[in-house]
Amino acid sequence: MPKVSFTSNLRRHVDCPEQVVAASTVAEALDLVFSQHPRLKGYVLDDQGSLHRHMAILVNGQAIRDRKQFAQPVEDHDEIFIMQALSGG
């Protein structure tokens, strides 16, 4: 089953330990995590259900492109990592 983990900065604001979930897409994994940690959803998704501009989701170290549907498939050995995207100069 895929593993979902979060940056320490997110864990500082919301209790969201690393989890292993039964999911076949990023969307299913997020739904399972958010059902267990409802406050986390507001940090990760905006009011329309899209990924906040300042957030990023990586699967096996590669940023996902779909920031709305999260339809990317995942397999049992995959790691989903949710983090704040950094910007500036």
pLDDT bucket at 50, cuts 50 / 70 / 90: very high
- In the chain, which ranges are E strands? 3-6, 19-20, 55-59, 62-63, 79-84
Residue 7, domain member (yes or no): yes
Q: Which domain holds residue 40?
A: 3-84
Residue 62, domain member (yes or no): yes
Residue 37, domain member (yes or no): yes
Residue 89, domain member (yes or no): no
Q: Domain holding 38: CATH number?
A: 3.10.20.30
Residue 77, domain member (yes or no): yes
How far is the C-alpha of 40 from the C-alpha of 71, rounded, in Å?
Answer: 20
Number of domains in the chain: 1
pLDDT in tens, 1-26: 999 999 988 888 888 889 999 999 99
How far is the C-alpha of 52 from the C-alpha of 46, rounded, in Å?
Answer: 5
